């Protein structure tokens, strides 16, 4: 049986994500391909969004703590 895949996202040189008529989501990255059912695909997406939010928050906190440091300015 032939399955139809619909490309959902693509990043040239990095990978892509497609949905399949069989109900799975295919994630292709350099050196690895993973298939997820809809529930686990949604869980992975949520986990990645959470990690991105935490990374941004951590980066923001780091830059705020650096603001209090002494900076030498050459005139």
Task: Evaluate whether residue 73 is within a structural domain.
Answer: no
DSSP string, the chain: ----EEEEEEETTTEEEEEETTS-EEEEETTEEEEE-HHHHHHHHHHHHHHHHHHHHHHHHHHHHHTTS------
- Kindly report the pTM of this predicted structure: 0.72
Q: Is residue 74 part of a domain?
A: no
pLDDT of residue 73: 67
State the pLDDT at residue 59. 81
**Which residue range is the domain that position 36 belongs to?**
5-66
- Into how many domains does the chain fold? 1
Tell me what pLDDT residue 74 has. 72
Mean pLDDT of 18-34: 97
Per-residue model confidence (pLDDT) at position 31: 95
The verdict on residue 44 lying in a domain is yes
Residue 26 lies in a domain: yes
């Amino acid at each position: 049986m032939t399955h139809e895949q619909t490309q959902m996202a693509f990043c040239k040189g990095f990978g892509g994500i497609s949905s399949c008529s069989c109900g799975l989501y295919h994630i292709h990255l350099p050196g690895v391909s993973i298939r997820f059912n809809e529930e686990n695909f949604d869980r992975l997406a949520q986990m990645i969004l959470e990690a991105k939010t935490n990374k941004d928050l951590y980066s923001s906190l780091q830059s705020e703590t650096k603001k209090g440091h002494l900076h030498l300015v050459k005139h």
